Structure 1
């Protein structure tokens, strides 16, 4: 059997790879003090310690988030901060140096980081999903091998898996398979150590996932991500040319028979990959909205002036009825979205805990968790858009200043909530509630 191409990857414990010129990338040395502090502190070992670590990283990122958003540099420094803090390892096996935490905790870590910087919260969320891909669609040997590789080397993982584009083409070349094609979106690819590829094997309808080193000639990044929001996610396009992968790295496939293993790639369990990432989305939407409300709270209490022409004049903005009413409404909305999102996190974590070995969940079980996640997606999409736009009503016109940066929260959620139309989530939920129909698995369900 051919050796895994992954064996050729080199460790990058503190600084991720980057193909951008140094002038367009952030410098990891800006966080030198924090790198040193993290290296001197105990590795988090409890849920509360992980959430405290995420909160600290969030506060570091929040301190200059507006300026970094404007600069739009490739987030090499920010990924180095995630690495040195240990957050990339939160879901990893303890035996390889990971945190051993469940997805329930992982989701809350994503949310916490997104409060300070939506782009970095999103990158962390995608990394956690892609770093666990082999756990969901790979064999037990592949699961163990890739977890060891990712966690021991502290790798950051990106993914070239955009279902709206044509699938990558895969050809069988003896001991290897060859990926070719392109993707319009490739979140985090430019600054990743490893990339998840997905395509269709030529002559079949069978999909194959594989994890490959990013630093190889077959990847050509366009460096063309310059959207209104999530500006530091490096979500631009990529061309993939003749990337060779040994058959034994084809996740969930038998390298000898060159066929998918039906005990691994059974649809209900393997397709949990989709609701898992949909709930990643909900958590960073919620975190961004919570971050905007906390930011607005500080601004209102220190900068916003009371309106002097209302006929019921108050000494300060914090005494005005409409400001209090708006904050109360925003707070209640986000608490409700958080409760639903946490419930979905608890239930999907329980599924993984119970069925990760047997993979024996039913289509009904899979459908029910997909619809709970869909409900969270609806709630977080609508509440985050409402809150991040509405905070300007309680902060005032000066809060629209570019250097203030309050607008970045709305721009971030507006950009990603267009990922897949939430109207279709509502339709699915309607059929589930009214007709008791669970959805068929799709790339977005």
Structure 2
């Protein structure tokens, strides 16, 4: 039973910590199994946290992005798949808020808060296999889409299709996941993020009404609308940081309780070994530097979000630089930490039952979806030439 069911006044982070504790009990087994974490998704529904980022006037909890990402990190420490789909749910809500009219997003917000809807993703702008066919007063989406995170067991989907009749324009729509013609294949079988349901979907002559389309102001149309990719980027940075924090805590517990000094060490206890202490000092520095950058970026995003349509291109660009910086650091530091924890836990920690490798697998899998080299190219152009990142779905 979640904190919400016990106490209507429960603080969101208290609810999140209780859920994270529950998720941690089965995280290793579920990582091995893959598939849809149905019980855990239903627990999120019951918790009320699916309304976390929705303003209070629409029945939500009115959390800032910093507060929302704090919950994402709490989940990522124990189960980064849950963190991924939970954060993506709020990213989809941001998508309708930024790309659609109030007459569209306000009812969707109210229904999400009241009915505990889960929103899934079938947007993937790099996958152009889904195309649009125009009809009198409605559109038709047909084709395939990959990397559809959280689509399984969702009530609503954000989907995209290419409109060749409009010069290859990308049309984005919010549609019920169970609409006729949508098939979710459940074919995600990667080394990490194994319960994100990030497999493929097929759209077979799916009817899309004009009121489903997110056209006003539309994707990446204004500086405020261009916050959408930045929310996605900071979501990932928080997942990477949360994974690293979780790996650190698991390694620390294992080191203190299970590991032994090397036979050449003069230390009586592993906690006194000088080389082990050096590693933990490095871990701490990497986590602290990532935390400071990620949290600073969150504060800047909150200020930009509060400006709404008054946000300028320059202000948006400054947030983009801060978030790209945080993401690069969280990615690099997280991958290194998740690999090096084995140097302070020893050979026995590689046993499959410990599953310490899942942290690296999860971070490695997710980090490859947006190459750091191109983030560094954008940051280099900013550092040398003063050129702010050009808004795309990834920057």
| TM-score > 0.5, shorter chain as reference | yes
Residues 280-312 of structure 1, C-alpha deviation per residue, up to 9 Å, x if partnerless? 00001100110010111111111111112x2x4
Of residues 81, 100, 111, the one that matches 2:62 is 100
The aligned residue for residue 269 of structure 2 is 316
Q: Distance between the aligned counterparts of 1:270 and 1:404, measured in 2?
A: 43
The aligned residue for residue 120 of structure 1 is 82
TM-score scaled by structure 2? 0.96
The question of 1:354 aligning with 2:316 is answered no
TM-score scaled by structure 1? 0.85
Of residues 271, 275, 279, the one that matches 2:230 is 275
**3-state SS, counterpart of residue 205 of structure 2:** strand
Q: Distance between the aligned counterparts of 2:336 and 2:371, measured in 1?
A: 16
The question of 1:331 aligning with 2:287 is answered no
Residues 139-184 of structure 1, C-alpha deviation per residue, up to 9 Å, x if partnerless? 1211212111211111111111112211532222122221112112
The question of 1:158 aligning with 2:120 is answered yes
Alignment of 1:403-418 (within 5 A): 403-418=353-368
1:427 Cα deviation after fit: 1.0
- Contact in 1 for aligned 2:58/2:106 (Cα 8 Å): no
Alignment of 1:241-320 (within 5 A): 241-253=204-216, 261=217, 266-308=221-263, 310=264, 312-320=265-273
Of residues 184, 194, 197, the one that matches 1:221 is 184
Q: Distance between the aligned counterparts of 1:64 and 1:190, measured in 2?
A: 20
The question of 1:42 aligning with 2:8 is answered yes
Q: Distance between the aligned counterparts of 1:87 and 1:328, measured in 2?
A: 35
Q: Which segments of 5 or more consecutive residues in structure 2 lack a partner in the other structure?
A: none
The aligned residue for residue 385 of structure 1 is 335
The question of 1:240 aligning with 2:215 is answered no
The aligned residue for residue 70 of structure 1 is 32
Between 1:167-176 and 1:149-158, the stretch displaced more is 167-176
**3-state SS, counterpart of residue 267 of structure 1:** coil
- Contact in 1 for aligned 2:223/2:313 (Cα 8 Å): yes
The question of 1:200 aligning with 2:155 is answered no
- Contact in 2 for aligned 1:55/1:112 (Cα 8 Å): yes
- Contact in 2 for aligned 1:252/1:265 (Cα 8 Å): no
1:313 Cα deviation after fit: 2.1
Q: Distance between the aligned counterparts of 2:80 and 2:380, measured in 1?
A: 30
The aligned residue for residue 191 of structure 1 is 153
Q: Which segments of 5 or more consecutive residues in structure 1 lack a partner in the other structure?
A: 1-33, 254-260
Between 1:162-171 and 1:131-140, the stretch displaced more is 162-171
Q: Distance between the aligned counterparts of 2:251 and 2:72, measured in 1?
A: 21
The question of 1:87 aligning with 2:49 is answered yes
Between 1:383-392 and 1:90-99, the stretch displaced more is 90-99
**3-state SS, counterpart of residue 346 of structure 1:** helix
Q: Distance between the aligned counterparts of 1:350 and 1:301, measured in 2?
A: 42
Between 1:374-383 and 1:360-369, the stretch displaced more is 360-369
Of residues 299, 302, 320, the one that matches 1:370 is 320
Between 1:341-350 and 1:72-81, the stretch displaced more is 72-81
Between 1:168-177 and 1:319-328, the stretch displaced more is 168-177
1:132 Cα deviation after fit: 2.2
Q: Distance between the aligned counterparts of 2:33 and 2:320, measured in 1?
A: 38
Q: Distance between the aligned counterparts of 2:289 and 2:334, measured in 1?
A: 12
Q: Distance between the aligned counterparts of 1:204 and 1:380, measured in 2?
A: 39
Q: Distance between the aligned counterparts of 2:357 and 2:63, measured in 1?
A: 34
Q: May I ask how many residue pairs the two structures share in their alignment?
A: 394
Q: Distance between the aligned counterparts of 2:321 and 2:132, measured in 1?
A: 32
Of residues 412, 416, 419, the one that matches 2:369 is 419
Q: Distance between the aligned counterparts of 1:209 and 1:320, measured in 2?
A: 56
Residues 57-114 of structure 1, C-alpha deviation per residue, up to 9 Å, x if partnerless? 2121112211111122321111112112222111012233311111111111101111
Q: Distance between the aligned counterparts of 1:353 and 1:360, measured in 2?
A: 9
1:227 Cα deviation after fit: 0.6
**3-state SS, counterpart of residue 216 of structure 1:** coil
**Superposed CA RMSD:** 1.6
Q: Distance between the aligned counterparts of 2:26 and 2:313, measured in 1?
A: 46
- Contact in 2 for aligned 1:131/1:150 (Cα 8 Å): no
